[in-house]
Amino acid sequence: MKTAQINSQTKASILLAFEQDKLEMLIHEGKLHAADFNCLDKTSKRSVWNMLLSAAARTMQS
């Protein structure tokens, strides 16, 4: 019986799409951090940047 060998040293990327409110919720709850992902286009990067600024402002107000 042959078994599949998985190269555990390679980091594979998984491409996902989130609705903006879901992504914002994950960031706000601390379940996802900006260092955990990359934006694939300028519009997404701008949106995420604004989300992060907004989350930081809420944190500072609390």
The residue ranking higher by pLDDT, 7 or 29, is: 29
CA 30 to CA 48: how far, in whole Å?
Answer: 14
Reported pTM: 0.68
For a pLDDT cut of 70, what percent of the chain falls above it? 84
The pLDDT assigned to 39 comes to 93
On average, the pLDDT of the chain sits at 85
pLDDT tier at 11, thresholds 50, 70, 90: confident
The residue ranking higher by pLDDT, 11 or 42, is: 42
